[in-house]
Structure 1
Amino acid sequence: MISIFPPDIAHAAAMALLATSFAGSFITAAFGIGGGIAFLAACAVLLPPAAIIPIHGIVQLGSNSVRALMFMRHLMWSALPAFVIGSLVGVAIGGSVVVSLPGWVVQSVVSLFILWVVFARPPKWLAQWPLVTGLISSFLTMFFGATGPFVAGYVKALKLDRHAHSATHAALMTVQHGLKVAVFGVLGFAYADWAPFIVSLIAAGACGTWVGKLVLGRMTDHGFHRILNGILVLIALRLIWGGLSGFL
């Protein structure tokens, strides 16, 4: 009998990751952002270091793919082509760069960007530059893992309703995580060894997305954006704290 649990982690840790995958997908589907960061935090605590970014990436690929399919009729397709081109360039650069950016630098820059998007009025050009968003976020994701809040800043500048926001953000993150997973596969990460557990994590995330979609349907656009802003601020403050801790 094939066990879904990989040999490198304890069963309790595996169950905690399954629960976090469900909860993270629920949060992202219902409130627009936050689930990827929560799942990355769990991965950082419970997975071997070499597996953190690849496993996070492939599970988020599955989660965002499911969310994009569930909300497909609301998707803003015009945002995809330029974002895909930028993401291809960003992932290629990130996968070939030898040096890593200091973690505290990445955290600080992303947190300031998030706070700017929430509290300032984003300039019109931000909504018109998906290529730049794709390039920068895809480069950063090779080192940082979860750049969903960065992409959410761009999507927020598009001023979409709650369903279109969720659909478009999910599609863009599917592109980004798909490219990242492919690069880590080329670099030699053995996804096959983790396959049963990865499928289970994605299934748990799909259930969370379905429940989150039901919650989203009961919200108003105004309520959705208020909660989204609140979550983004909390993420930004956590990143600032992490950046200061890393610097000091």
Structure 2
Amino acid sequence: MFDWSMIVAIAVAALGTSFLSGVFGMIGGLVLMGVLLLFLPVPAAMTLHAITQMTANGWRAVVWHRHIMWRILPGYLLGSAIVFGLLAWAQFTPPKAWVYICLGIMPFAARMLPREHAPDIRRKGASVMVGASVMGLHVLAGVSGAVLDMFFLARDLDRRLVVATKAMSQSIGHAIKFAYFTFVAVAPLKVEPATISRALDVPLWVYGMAAGLAICGTTLAKPVLHRFSNEAFQLWSRRLVLGIGGVYLVQGGVALTQ
């Protein structure tokens, strides 16, 4: 199934999108999900995306560990566990057209909420909402960065705290997503654990390649983030995520008509 052109495209996407996420704390996952869906069925795209983004976000969390807001972790895990349990019970796998449409809608939905009314990650109960939202969107769309970003819009939040805390939460979220699409989503197919990688059409070495390139892209992004001001960081994040969202809405509309 994997030819060299596909391997090169995935490698370039893994490196480039981890660099984007390393600079902006998001966006890279949106782009990578779209690229993988061009070549792979939804469960396979989700698992490869999960490994790549889990590695990129995990390494970014290590790089910026001094800026992580650790107090949100218990609530985040609680919200994730609740939604994971509900989705595992339903054994839901979204159609590819739905994934594209969710990818496209999320950035616009996140930006429609006025900044002064946006939820704040520091408020009581916000971390539980974040965990539940991230887990649900990871299954429906593969990514959740645009909605997660709503909780980090307060102007007094430092860009390094934003990138570090989102990296920590996203690395956990993608690990849970990998478990869901590896063990839960394939359950209706009655696939034995030993043959799961074959059922998902992703050779194990491709996971390793994507993870290694994700670390490289994240490392290259650190000096670039240092050069950004907080204002420029917010401006370019908004422009890029809305542009990418528009592309995915078009792709989702096309997929529905086919």
Q: Name the TM-score, length of structure 1 as normaliser.
A: 0.85
Equivalent pair of 2:72/2:127 in contact (CA under 8 Å): yes
The structure-2 alpha-carbon separation of the partners of 1:122 and 1:83, relative to structure 1 and needing over 3 Å to count, comes to farther
1:4 aligned partner: none
Identify unmatched segments of 5+ residues in structure 1.
Answer: 1-7
Is 1:220 the equivalent of 2:229? yes
Deviation at residue 242 of structure 1 after TM alignment: 4.6
- CA shift, 1:194, in A, is 2.7
Which residue of 2 is the match for residue 185 of structure 1? 182
Once the two structures are TM-superposed, the CA of residue 73 in structure 1 deviates from its matched residue by 0.7
* Contact 1:58/1:181, CA 8 A, preserved across alignment: yes
* Equivalent-residue separation in structure 2 for 1:185 and 1:101 (angstroms): 14
The residue that corresponds to 1:40 in the other structure is 33
Q: Is the 8 A contact 1:106 1:144 kept in 2?
A: yes
What is the letter of the counterpart of residue 220 of structure 1?
S
1:65 to 33, 55, 58: 58
- 1:114 and 1:233 in contact (8 A); partners too: no
Matched, 1:138 2:135: yes
1:226 CA drift (Å): 1.3
Amino acid at match of 1:97: A
Contact 1:95–1:142, Cα closer than 8 Å, also in 2: no
- Counterpart of 1:15 in structure 2 is 8
Tell me whether 1:170 sits opposite 2:167 in the alignment: yes
Pick from 86, 93, 109 the counterpart of residue 86 of structure 2: 93
Superposed CA offset, 1:28-68 (max 9, x none): 11122210111111111123444111111121111111111
Structure 1 position 125, deviation (Å): 4.3
Q: Which position in structure 2 is the counterpart of 1:3?
A: none
Q: Is 1:149 aligned to residue 158 of structure 2?
A: no
| Among 110, 116, 120, the residue aligned to 2:112 | 116
- Check the 8 A contact 1:24/1:34 in 2, yes or no: yes
Deviation at 1:232, TM superposition (A): 2.5
- The answer as to whether partners of 1:17 and 1:201 remain within 8 angstroms in 2 is yes
Gapped regions of structure 2 (runs ≥ 5)? 187-192
Q: State the shift of 1:180 in Å.
A: 1.4
| Partner of residue 190, structure 2 | none
Task: Give 1:217 shift.
Answer: 1.1
Partner Cα distance (2:206, 2:72) in 1: 33
Q: Is the 8 A contact 1:111 1:239 kept in 2?
A: no
For residues 84 and 233 of structure 1, what CA distance do their matches in structure 2 show?
A: 29
CA gap of 1:246–1:111, structure 2 versus 1, over 3 A, is farther
Kindly provide the CA deviation profile for residues 62-93 of structure 1, in whole angstroms up to 9, marking residues without a partner as x.
11111111111111112222111111112222
Structure 1 ranges of 4+ moved more than 6 A: none
Residues 76, 131 of structure 2: 8 Å contact kept:
yes
**Structure 1 residues 243 and 39, CA gap change in structure 2 (3 angstroms):** closer
After TM superposition, give the deviation of residue 218 of structure 1 in Å.
Answer: 1.5
What's 1:207 paired with? 216
Name 2:238's counterpart in structure 1. Answer: 229
How big is the shift at 1:177?
0.7
SS at match of 1:160: coil
Cα deviation for residue 100 of structure 1 reads: 5.4
Once the two structures are TM-superposed, the CA of residue 131 in structure 1 deviates from its matched residue by: 0.8
- Name 2:205's counterpart in structure 1: 196
Q: Distance in 1 between matches of 2:131 and 2:85?
A: 12
Q: TM-score, normalised by structure 2?
A: 0.82
Identity fraction in percent: 21
